[in-house]
Structure 1
């Protein structure tokens, strides 16, 4: 598979939430040591797909740096034996003056690289095209085998969902025995949903529809054929909205591959929050990312904990927890939580610099700023972004029950009722949010 399949990760889109002010969503930390983009990269690598392209554009510096540091290329041996995770950043060229306008447009503008002509390697037979903002574990070997067994032009990985979610996703009408896609609509209206309901939906409450996971397999010829259509019709810029319906209109063979494991699209702050809390639940994700690797904590010491109470908590390397009580939460690398502090249902994304407890005390005595959560604080249902400083006796509990608020000048925002302490923010002693 390493010779005949390429991975293409779409990581350039803009997502509007407080965590993407300084970085793209695929560059947001996940769990204690990963970034979101590590999920599709690891799914590819574990299937033997080791020639991977990551298409970036929006707020891409953090993402580009992470890819370069975490996945150095292997350039030993013959060309076909080489492996890489290459960033294809949006750029202006002699023939292309605009940035990526959508997922399909991003693929089209990188066809020269995707053809592998400059590398002198065996041309790819199939391309696995993936979203950079979802959490799941899938055996891509089985996905590609299904695609080839059906001799499909395009295969869409799909997951069941209920009616409320169906209105926000790409929904397919699928032949119950062959798995062939007969109709596909992105974000269908209530009137459209009736014709898209699964034939066995009566026996599957909450799973009446099949939704696209943003994971596609394209046969080489099919991908380049659709790219040719995009050149002639540049207004067609999205895979779900435009390419899949166009492929069906051309009577190309489009099939659905149903994935029954955990999958969560992380396109909003609420999605991100819930997915991370799932990581702390030993039953929810059932090992989804346990064997995935990044290199964020490669040089950090183990976490240090003294006189703490933990219940369903993931703790990143380099963290220092002293005399605190934490439940159902995820702590990123180099997180500090002080004495008497209680943390419930919260995400603390960690810090870019490690300090021991002694180093922290000495820095405070000098009047230096230090990252982390101070003493006697109470944090509940919130996200603390990287390199934030929270003073002593601070309460972050959404006391007024606010659903939406922008207090970024004070270092925090509220979205979907979740308080987000902004990256590099400083919250003074005694503040109540």
Structure 2
């Protein structure tokens, strides 16, 4: 009986997240709150931990303080069993420069791989919302004999230009071509209206990954990107396999949320992903206890719903409300509310995402908005109701009409 393979996890969390501004004005993209009490990084780490990985590093760079703090306070593993999840900032080991790409981040952090001496390295991104059992992908990788395996998720052919697309050879299990945002992609053999889009999740034989990133580091023309440079390196050598997410069976998943994967790199996609959480039968189910999404255990009292000072009764419909929040005579509908939110009498919150420690004054109205932490609405104030006024006040408003208010802003009536 052969010894089990030693597997090491690397999460690439250095993304700046410009398209999520102003939510990333003071934090790295993977540290952006999501779903009330989580941060985006929690989905990546939870998937690896639930899959049995016990040695995981998170490579950070851009405005990483809150991300580093969250990881150190939340993801405390047993040192007795040599288990850890730890953040590793850019160390400038190859000169006085920052990471110039995701592949360069691994190259500059090669000491981490050398110290652990794994057989296999799992490399994933930090800013997608999904569940995945990586044990199944690991088994497929080992059985295939490929040096690299790329996870793919089926997406409509019409959206091919938004993704890196895997041109798959179903007879060999290998990748024929890796196409970066193609405008003329062909559909899959068994589903002509779909393509196999890269999820940004990779599994490598450790020695092959080391050789690839070292060769990439010496190339003056490389963009030093995992998808744009490292995957094509293996494809050209005939050593890149693919894994169809359709095969992945996550414990506790239902036909409705099976194979859910959402890139939340824009304000609109971030907002839409929250909409996926709140229906009676959600497209993405946070309440799957067989594959839990772990996060920091907040020491807070339960959420509370009370009449306001004049006896008005509030209600909450198709919404998520986090610990510590108190809603007094508030109408809440189709929204996600973060911890320690206070909403005054007669206020209305609809179709919105509210981060932690937000104060919504009496009679205020919030509609189709994202409010960052510590935002305060004066009594009778509005946001998301008048597009022109929101723009005049310096708020971000997307073309679809979602208003975003940055951290700590006071909104006058």
Fold in common (TM above 0.5)? yes
- Contact 1:382–1:397 (CA under 8 A) maintained in structure 2: yes
Give the secondary structure class of the aligned counterpart of 1:273.
helix
| Whole-Å separation in 1 of the counterparts to 2:238 and 2:324 | 55
Match of 2:33 in 1: 29
Pick closer, same or farther for the CA change 1:89–1:289 going to 2, 3 Å. farther
Structure 1: 5+ residue runs without aligned partners?
A: 118-122, 352-370
Written as runs of structure 1 = structure 2, the 5 A alignment for 1:40-59 is: 40-59=44-63
Q: Is the 8 A contact 1:314 1:331 kept in 2?
A: yes
What SS does structure 2 have at the residue aligned with 1:280?
A: coil
Specify whether residues 62 and 101 from structure 1 end up closer, same or farther in structure 2 by C-alpha distance, changes over 3 A only: same
What is the aligned counterpart of 1:333 among 314, 321, 339?
A: 339
Distance 2:280 2:90 in 1: 39
Number of residue pairs aligned between Structure 1 and Structure 2: 387
How far apart in 2 are the matches of 1:139 and 1:388?
Answer: 37
- Whole-Å Cα distance in 1 between the matches of residues 320 and 4 of structure 2? 33
In 1: Cα distance, 2:29 partner to 2:88 partner: 17
Q: Give the structure 2 partner of residue 275 of structure 1.
A: 273
Structure 1 pair 411/389, CA: closer, same or farther in 2 (3 Å)? farther
**Correspondence 1:135 to 2:137:** no
Cα-Cα RMSD: 2.0
- What CA deviation, in whole Å up to 9, does each residue of 1:340-383 have, x standing for no partner? 111111000112xxxxxxxxxxxxxxxxxxx4101112211110
Q: TM-score, normalised by structure 2?
A: 0.89
Q: Paired residue for 1:15?
A: 17
Is the CA contact 2:174–2:239 (under 8 Å) kept in the aligned structure 1?
no
Deviation per residue, 1:183-235 (Å, 9 max, x gap) = 101222x24x2xx4212334xx4xx2110011111111221121221132153
Partner Cα distance (2:333, 2:26) in 1: 29
Question: Any residues of structure 2 matched to 1:2-401 within 5 Å, and which?
Answer: 4-16=6-18, 17-76=21-80, 81-93=81-93, 95-117=94-116, 123-188=117-182, 190-191=183-184, 193=185, 196-202=186-192, 205=193, 208-234=194-220, 235-259=222-246, 261-288=259-286, 290=288, 291-295=292-296, 297-306=297-306, 307-351=313-357, 371-400=358-387
| Structure 2 gap ranges (5+) | 247-257, 307-312
Q: What is the CA distance between 1:11 and its match in structure 2?
A: 0.6
**Cα distance between partner residues in 1 of 2:15 and 2:279:** 29
Cα distance, 1:254 vs structure 2: 2.4
Cα-to-partner distance string for 1:288-335 (whole Å, 9 max, x where unaligned): 56421211x521111111132111111111111110111111001111
Say whether the 8 Å CA contact 1:32–1:315 is kept in structure 2: yes
Taking the aligned partners of 2:387 and 2:411, their CA distance within structure 1 comes to 18
> 2:384 touches 2:402 (CA, 8 Å); kept in 1?
no
Distance 2:147 2:280 in 1: 38
CA distance in 2, matches of 1:97, 1:166: 38
- 2:401 matched to 1:415? no
Secondary structure of the residue aligned to 1:20 is coil
Please give the alpha-carbon distance, in whole angstroms, between the structure 1 residues aligned to 2:198 and 2:209.
Answer: 18
Is the 8 Å Cα contact of residues 48 and 134 (structure 2) preserved in structure 1?
Answer: yes
